[in-house]
Structure 1
């Protein structure tokens, strides 16, 4: 069994588990988790290159990885804000120069492109965050750190059960993207769980029971939930996809003024939880897409 891969999986899952717990309880996650995960990922990457007896020039990939990753947590002015800020400018010049040199030097080698998955995933996750597809900053940071930890598919014994049929097929859906993809699949279990909960509580209201559950108004105001009901022109109406935290307070007040004591709410489930579950799922089960193209 590959001790390095097992160590990476255990460490990543443990850190994500702790971060998810913090996110669930407070809806805040310290950057310490992602810094530790990312820096540990770089250390594991260096060890892996050493064990692979990789050419020394490959270690240069650690520079752009470190610069881009650590810059996420660096509170600084833009490179051209209030003039030219030389430090970040020079760091990014060195970043792109080192990547360009590696491509020119090793573009025919698959080993390089396995490593290049990391900066490519950085770009993809940052773009997804900027376009609000990845909603939370903690989610984006977690995925970026995981890209450092797992640039390629981890193999542990006979796992994953659905393994990439070829080395090149790993590029169809790189492992960091697979974690995001499987996290989205895991999220689909939430309506099923809510349905079971409401059936057990005998709260039958279709389709509301697929999106939330009943809760007292007093408790709802103190919980991490969105109200699924609102007052519109004096009438109580259902809203199945509420997502505005700014309006929630006003909605609670309007419902209270109307004499409502219990409402339907939908829980604010941090996406970090599906990401956490996705790690062992992706490691053990693998990529369902390979069942189609395999």
Structure 2
């Protein structure tokens, strides 16, 4: 039966169930930077079922069909999965990004085929026919376009700066409800400033708001103002809950009260209590150093507007790459072949 007579095979139709799940995961990743591993389990099972289904059909269809199935499946599982794992291992991908690509390698080893209104999709295929690799290359192209979009957006608003390709300015109030990384230090622009998740961890640990720090920066720079019984810092996510006031229980001894009265704002061994915070919590607060935390706090208590890198999670280009692959096919093949 030809494609024009049949909209798609049953496995290909089942694969479309992944599209709304990937849409939800991409939105979730943008809003919280957290996607539960549970999301990928049913998709991986679906991918395993459709892979075996297609393999069984190809085996029974003869040697030519089996070869046409085996090559893209081998590329998908033997190339895309290792690439995803290695990029995660070396820190190029987040865990959700790597798992998403691995799931896609199972779900879409070969190009699916859909007929809509007499037209066949995807339009542009490749000689190897490995669809998950096409999704990956499409995602990389989308990711490379993001800096261009940021630069155009900033240029249109008259914001010309060296970091205009990687970020945009926000009001200081949004720093505690936004994901990303500061692109400023007291000395100027930087490409690797304070992670805003680490900022939220610090504020929750101290039981303070950013507004509190801005109201009395000289006071809170003094490590003697640190709480005796800090709050759990959580993992820095935006939706981790409200900040408990005063770090749970803040009690100053006579000695610490004397420190508050006598030490100058610039004379502390541990300004802002950055060392104490990082020593007290489990983990490294996303690799934040004490100096990086202090620099970020100095910017946030002084500036009305700060530049941040939104740090768009790769799951967003992956979802866009999936949609482009289903609707058009391989972008590179469309350009070069």
Q: Fold match, TM over 0.5?
A: yes
Quote the residue 1:122 is aligned against: 81
Deviations 1:214-272, CA, capped at 9 Å, x for gaps = 112232133212111112xxxx3111455865256433212145x22221111121111
Partners of 2:336 and 2:303 in 1: CA distance: 53
Partners of 2:67 and 2:154 in 1: CA distance: 55
Segments of structure 2 that go 5 or more residues without pairing to the other structure are 1-6, 196-285
User: Does structure 1 residue 45 correspond to structure 2 residue 51?
Assistant: yes
Deviations 1:58-112, CA, capped at 9 Å, x for gaps = xxxxxxxxxxxxxxxxxxxxxxxxxxxxxxxxxxxxxxxxxxxxxxxx9x94443
Among 80, 88, 91, which residue is 1:132 paired with? 91
Quote the residue 1:237 is aligned against: 188
Quote the residue 1:224 is aligned against: 179
User: Does structure 1 residue 160 correspond to structure 2 residue 115?
Assistant: no
User: Does structure 1 residue 289 correspond to structure 2 residue 332?
Assistant: yes
Deviations 1:255-290, CA, capped at 9 Å, x for gaps = 145x22221111121111110111010122222333
Q: 1:162 to 1:242 in 2, by over 3 A?
A: farther
Partners of 2:330 and 2:194 in 1: CA distance: 31
Partners of 2:31 and 2:332 in 1: CA distance: 34
Among 207, 212, 235, which residue is 2:167 paired with? 212
Partners of 2:85 and 2:160 in 1: CA distance: 39
Partners of 2:193 and 2:181 in 1: CA distance: 6
Quote the residue 2:143 is aligned against: 187
Partners of 2:122 and 2:193 in 1: CA distance: 37
Give the alignment's Cα RMSD to 1 decimal.
3.0
Q: 1:253 to 1:22 in 2, by over 3 A?
A: same
Q: 1:288 to 1:22 in 2, by over 3 A?
A: closer
Quote the residue 1:143 is aligned against: 101
Deviations 1:167-203, CA, capped at 9 Å, x for gaps = xx216xx322221211111123323332344355x34
- Correspondences of 1:22-41 after superposition (within 5 Å): 22-41=28-47
Q: 1:289 to 1:185 in 2, by over 3 A?
A: closer
Q: Structure 1 residues 208-217 or 32-41, which shifts more?
A: 208-217
* 1:292 to partner: Cα distance: 6.1
Partners of 1:183 and 1:115 in 2: CA distance: 20
More helix by share: 1
Segments of structure 1 that go 5 or more residues without pairing to the other structure are 56-105
* 1:213 to partner: Cα distance: 1.5
The runs of at least 4 consecutive aligned structure 1 residues that moved more than 4 Å come to 241-245
Q: 1:292 to 1:195 in 2, by over 3 A?
A: closer
Question: Quick check: which has more Rg, 1 or 2?
Answer: 2
Indicate the SS of the match to 1:263. Answer: strand
